[in-house]
């Protein structure tokens, strides 16, 4: 049996690669098993939303991905209904349109540079776990097999997850849309908008640019619900796009076609013992809204720092269980929202489609409704449960606040994978005394503007704890209590400091 390290990740899609990079950055040895050999052209995810871009910013790779795509600030939905992302409370007031393979490339380069091992042509065929770890059965491309042993395993292996099946977990749900056609094509007449989308009662179409002259056409024809195995006829794609958009934009020279169906499913448990599920292995839903890849990346960001803390012996009780507790409700909400959006897009009666367009236009011109809609789509409004009586900010996403000194932004301060304690600029001494024994896990940063709030920000960019207490002694006590609750026991005091305190106690 081959020993790996501490974590084996099954699947080198976006979720698995981000998780591998986070673990490797934290000094946790990890191995990624990927069945595919070489690059895949099958990319269904083009949308990278604002919250995901913030997570990439916190890892120092957002700019690399931004250079590959186009930023879309306004998304037209039904007729005159427009989703305006330009007012988002983020540095990234847009959705980035870029092929999934670019996201995978950026994340893989980061993971490999940090020391993660990615083994392609390796398929996990089964697993067993005990109190000490997980054993995975692995088959290589040449048919030979071997076993890997790890402290934990994470299934990021998609909708047909071998890891999920090995755990015996159900995947309840059903198909929300069948026989969606995909084609990579050239266009004689390029659309005016980056994202071109349209729907009638019996046809739906979406055109998205790769950025190199090729476009991905996504089309659905209500009258022809073929199985996934049936070949796609280019004439049907072109006709469906023409009916949905009013033009096929001179579509020609298809280089690749495929057909797929989209399910709404969610596993009941994201953790079973030492095995976790993330991304499409845990939840799948309609592609409407572009939430799938983004939700999986946020799963990985939530799980990585928790696994690293557990393997370092610094995880407080219940930290690993909190992965399911926090992410399962998010997956459920995304599944419901994308399903409702899909049914709205595919409305058949003409009168209902007209009513849909009017209702969407009026709603999105109402500021509170528009804010909720953009906050949900972008992921910026995702929040995690907070204990009763906690500060109003607890569990919410931390904004990229300005800091005094270097680094100058909170997201830059999060790049070393530690918690960040953001405090008022007039309180550095108290903060230092309160945090120095957690210095290996916590970075102290002074707020760049006037504030009375002290906040402990988790490595995934969410606020673990906050207080508005101004009395120095009470604030220091609260800080120490929060660090002990979230970051585990403090480091042992140096011998000279312990002896000094003992001598002072004897003298008193």
The mean predicted confidence, pLDDT, of the chain is 88
What pLDDT is recorded for position 349? Answer: 59
What pLDDT is recorded for position 359? Answer: 66
pLDDT above 90 (res 451): no
pLDDT for 174-184, tens place per residue? 888 888 899 99
CATH of the domain at 332: 3.50.50.60
471 and 392 in a single domain? The answer is yes
Paired tokens of 195: 């994202």
The residue behind tokens 């330009």 is: 86
74 and 31 in a single domain? The answer is yes
Q: How confident is the model at residue 3 (pLDDT cuts 50, 70, 90)?
A: very low
51 and 167 in a single domain? The answer is yes
Where a domain ends, among 263, 292, 315? Answer: 263
448 and 482 in a single domain? The answer is yes
270 and 242 in a single domain? The answer is no
Q: How confident is the model at residue 476 (pLDDT cuts 50, 70, 90)?
A: confident
Distance CA 188, CA 370 (A): 35
What pLDDT is recorded for position 199? Answer: 81
Number of domains in the chain: 3
What are the DSSP calls for 260-313, one per residue? Answer: EEEEEEE-S-SEETTEEE-GGGTEE--STTS-HHHHHHHHHHHHHHHHHHHHTT
- 280: nearest Cα among 177, 205, 181, 173: 173
pLDDT top residue among 216 and 282: 282
Provide the 8-state DSSP code for 437: G
Where a domain ends, among 215, 235, 263? Answer: 263
CATH of the domain at 252: 3.30.70.2450
pLDDT for 311-334, tens place per residue? 999 999 999 999 999 999 999 999
pLDDT above 70 (res 403): yes
Q: Phi and psi dihedrals of 47, rounded to 5?
A: -95, 125
pLDDT above 90 (res 398): yes
351 and 451 in a single domain? The answer is no
Where a domain ends, among 240, 263, 286? Answer: 263
What pLDDT is recorded for position 505? Answer: 42
pLDDT for 251-265, tens place per residue? 999 998 999 888 899
Weakest-pLDDT range from 20-34, 305-319, 478-492: 478-492
CA 440 to chain centroid, in Å, comes to 26
Name the packing angle between helices 428-435 and 472-487 (round to 10°): 40
92 and 141 in a single domain? The answer is yes
29 and 158 in a single domain? The answer is yes
403 and 458 in a single domain? The answer is yes
Q: How confident is the model at residue 469 (pLDDT cuts 50, 70, 90)?
A: confident
pLDDT above 80 (res 427): no
Mean per-residue pLDDT for 356-364?
A: 63
CATH of the domain at 418: 3.40.30.120
Going by C-beta distance under 8 Å and a sequence separation of 6 or more, which residues neighbour residue 426? Answer: none
433 and 454 in a single domain? The answer is yes
138 and 243 in a single domain? The answer is no
Distance CA 359, CA 427 (A): 51
Which residues constitute the domain of residue 299? 2-172+265-378
Report the run of H or E that residue 221 belongs to, with start and end. strand 215-221
pLDDT for 189-246, tens place per residue? 999 888 888 888 788 898 988 888 899 999 999 889 899 899 999 999 999 999 999 9
103 and 248 in a single domain? The answer is no
């Amino acid at each position: 049996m081959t020993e790996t390290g501490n974590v084996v990740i099954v699947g080198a899609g976006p979720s698995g690669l981000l998780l591998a990079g986070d673990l490797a950055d934290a000094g946790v040895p990890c191995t990624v098993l990927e069945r595919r050999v070489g690059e895949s052209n099958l990319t269904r995810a083009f949308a990278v939303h604002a919250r995901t871009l913030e997570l990439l910013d916190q890892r120092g790779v957002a700019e690399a991905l931004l250079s590959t795509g186009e930023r879309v600030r306004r998304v037209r939905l039904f007729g005159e209904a427009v989703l305006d992302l330009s007012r988002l409370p983020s540095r990234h007031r847009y959705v980035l349109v870029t092929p999934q393979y670019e996201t995978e490339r950026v994340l893989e380069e980061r993971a490999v540079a940090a020391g993660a091992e990615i083994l392609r042509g390796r398929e996990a065929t089964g697993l067993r776990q005990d109190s000490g770890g997980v054993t995975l059965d692995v088959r290589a491309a040449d048919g030979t097999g071997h076993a890997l042993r790890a402290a934990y395993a994470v299934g990021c292996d998609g909708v047909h997850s071998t890891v999920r099946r090995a755990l015996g977990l159900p995947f309840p749900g059903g198909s929300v849309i069948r026989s969606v056609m995909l084609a990579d094509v050239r266009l004689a007449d390029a659309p005016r908008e980056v994202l071109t989308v349209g729907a009638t009662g019996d046809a739906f179409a979406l055109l998205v640019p790769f950025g190199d002259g090729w476009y991905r056409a996504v089309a659905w024809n209500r009258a022809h619900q073929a199985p996934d195995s049936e070949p796609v006829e280019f004439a049907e794609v072109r006709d469906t796009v023409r009916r949905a958009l009013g033009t096929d934009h001179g579509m020609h020279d298809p280089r690749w076609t495929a057909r797929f169906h989209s399910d709404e499913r969610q596993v009941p448990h994201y953790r079973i013992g030492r095995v976790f599920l993330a991304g499409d292995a845990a939840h799948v839903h309609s592609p409407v809204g572009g939430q799938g890849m983004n939700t999986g990346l946020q799963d990985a960001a939530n799980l990585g720092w928790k696994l690293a803390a557990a393997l370092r012996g610094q995880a407080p009780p219940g930290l690993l269980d909190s992965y399911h507790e926090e992410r399962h409700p998010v997956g459920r909400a995304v599944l419901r929202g994308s399903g409702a959006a899909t049914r709205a897009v595919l409305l058949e009666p003409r009168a209902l489609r007209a009513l849909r367009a009017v209702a969407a236009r009026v709603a999105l011109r109402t500021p509170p409704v528009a804010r909720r809609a953009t906050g949900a789509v972008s992921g910026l409004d995702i929040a995690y449960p907070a204990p009763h009586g906690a500060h109003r900010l607890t569990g919410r996403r931390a904004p990229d606040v300005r800091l005094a000194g270097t680094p100058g932004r909170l997201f830059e301060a999060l790049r070393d994978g530690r918690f960040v304690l953001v405090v008022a600029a007039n309180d550095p001494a108290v903060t230092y005394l309160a945090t120095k024994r957690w210095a290996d896990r916590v970075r102290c940063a002074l707020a760049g503007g006037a504030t009375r709030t002290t906040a402990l920000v988790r490595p995934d960019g969410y606020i673990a704890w906050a207080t508005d207490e101004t009395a120095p002694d009470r604030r220091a006590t609260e800080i120490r209590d929060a660090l002990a609750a979230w970051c585990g026991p403090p480091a042992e005091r140096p011998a000279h400091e312990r002896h000094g305190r003992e001598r002072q106690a004897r003298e008193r």
